[in-house]
């Protein structure tokens, strides 16, 4: 009986255990297979995550927004007799807007790209030479197109640690001042900046020779023709740099030589200088100018400085002053006292400016011609 009972139990155990063991083996095998696949999936996810973080690290978005209030002192404001210095950007009356600037850039190990977009009156003035093809059939390029929001658009290749090639539309390398108010101490701009080039389109090579010396060479369209080359004119450009001092050249339809420098005299006192000579090879109009830019830091949040500029035109110049003597000459001296007060990333800029011309190019409140104009503005510039 014991033997028969054991035999019966053995049959029941076998009939239950064998299927269970088979199921267990399959389950363990499946788990082992899943465990083997997990590291591969995890590695792929890690690679994608690293790739994303690399792109995120190399991609930047920055820009600025600026607004201002401006009024004349002792001269008409608004209407047909509104008086302004004949320089760029800060010529609105009362409460005015400057521009919104959005810069998207990707800086890879060897290559990169920049798209710099501008919106508003300052931006429109900055890209005045942006033309498109003749779409209305009147025989001339058209204005007022979407390309007029493009301040800069270029790609670059770091050929080596010292040499970079840039191809596209980039802001000028001449002068002390720039288009963006973030890069300037004064909010209003000088005559020499206003009548020099703003931007170029072409190919340039930057060579960082060593820690002190640098060299740049470029071939470009005519000044400020940034979308294409309607006149089929080309300009050569060059720059020699030494310890923050730059000697710049343009040769083409316009010739210009320009010197820019700046240095810290003490920890709190900075001195900048810009001098330039320009000649239009087509109509002989010319100008030369010099400006100084001393600045004194009085606290961590406040800097005071001024721009003193002398600007002279010859051969009826470039229209900067508007009136000329019988030999086609005229000049202007402008003095601009400016403060910069920083509140985080917001800069408040009060500015007092006097323009004095050799000819009576302005009107006073009695609508009589005069050679002097005094104005005040308060600007607010936010950078992000």
Q: pLDDT per residue over 203-215, tens digit each?
A: 999 999 999 999 9
User: 144-149: which pairs have CB atoms within 8 A and are 24 or more residues apart?
Assistant: 147/227, 148/124, 149/117, 149/118, 149/119, 149/123
For 64-383, CATH number?
2.40.160.10
> Looking at residue 26, what is its pLDDT?
43
Confidence at residue 1, expressed as pLDDT on a 0 to 100 scale: 41
**pLDDT at position 60, please?**
95
- The residues, any chain, with a CB within 8 Å of residue 360's CB and separated by 6 or more, are 323, 369, 370, 371
Q: What is the mean pLDDT of residues 206-233?
A: 94
- Mean pLDDT calculated for residue range 329-351: 98
Who wins on pLDDT, 144 or 161? 161
Residue 12's pLDDT is 43
So what's the pLDDT on residue 316? 93
**Cross-strand bridge partners of residue 155:** 113, 167
What pTM was estimated for this model as a whole?
A: 0.83
153 touches 200 (CB < 8 A): no
What is the pLDDT confidence band of residue 284, given thresholds at 50, 70 and 90?
confident
Average of pLDDT values for 164-190? 97
> What percentage of the chain has pLDDT greater than the value 70?
81
Count the alpha carbons within 13 Å of 355 in the hemisphere toward its beta carbon: 29
How does pLDDT run across 19-73, given as a tens digit for each residue? Answer: 444 444 444 444 444 445 456 666 766 666 665 565 677 999 999 999 999 999 9
| Average pLDDT over every residue of 169-179 | 97
Residue 236 has pLDDT above 50, yes or no: yes
Show Cβ contacts of residue 266 under 8 Å, excluding neighbours closer than 6 positions.
none
Residue pair 200/169 in contact (Cβ under 8 Å)? The answer is yes
Closest CA to 220 of 197, 190, 189: 197
Q: What is the DSSP string of 77-88?
A: -SSTT----SSS
Residue 370 predicted with pLDDT over 80: yes
């Amino acid at each position: 009986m014991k033997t028969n009972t054991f035999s019966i139990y053995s049959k029941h155990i076998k009939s239950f255990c064998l299927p269970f063991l088979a199921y267990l083996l399959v389950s363990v095998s499946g788990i082992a297979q899943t465990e083997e696949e997990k590291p591969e999936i995890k590695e792929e996810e890690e690679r994608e995550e690293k790739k994303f973080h690399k792109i995120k690290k190399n991609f930047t978005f920055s820009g600025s927004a600026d607004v201002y209030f401006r009024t004349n002192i002792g001269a008409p404001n608004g209407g047909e007799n509104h008086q302004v210095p004949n320089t760029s950007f800060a010529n609105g009356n009362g409460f005015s807007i400057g521009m919104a600037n959005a810069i998207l850039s990707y800086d890879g190990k060897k290559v990169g790209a920049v798209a710099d977009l501008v919106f508003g009156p300052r931006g429109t003035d900055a890209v005045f030479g942006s033309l498109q093809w003749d779409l209305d059939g009147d025989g001339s390029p058209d204005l007022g197109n979407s390309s007029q929001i493009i301040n800069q658009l270029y790609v670059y290749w770091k050929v080596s640690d010292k040499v970079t090639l840039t191809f596209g539309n980039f802001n000028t390398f001449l002068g002390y001042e720039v288009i963006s108010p973030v890069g300037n101490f004064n909010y209003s701009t000088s005559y020499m900046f206003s009548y020099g080039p703003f931007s170029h389109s072409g190919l340039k090579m930057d060579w960082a020779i060593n820690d002190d010396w640098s060299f740049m060479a470029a071939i470009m369209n005519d000044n400020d023709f940034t979308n294409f080359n309607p006149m089929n004119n080309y300009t050569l450009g060059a720059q020699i740099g030494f310890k923050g001092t730059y000697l710049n050249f343009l040769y083409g339809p316009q010739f210009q030589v320009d010197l820019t420098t700046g240095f810290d005299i003490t920890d709190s006192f900075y001195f900048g200088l810009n001098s330039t000579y320009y000649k239009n090879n087509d109509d002989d109009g010319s100008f030369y100018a010099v400006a100084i830019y001393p600045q004194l830091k009085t606290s961590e949040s406040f800097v005071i400085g001024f721009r003193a500029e002398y600007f002279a035109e010859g051969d009826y110049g470039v229209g900067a002053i508007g009136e000329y003597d019988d030999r086609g000459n005229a000049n202007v001296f402008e003095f601009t006292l400016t403060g910069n007060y920083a509140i985080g990333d917001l800069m408040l800029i009060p500015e007092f400016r006097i323009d004095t011309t050799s000819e009576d190019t302005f009107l006073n409140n009695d609508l009589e011609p005069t050679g002097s104009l005094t104005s005040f503005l308060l600007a607010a510039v936010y950078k992000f």
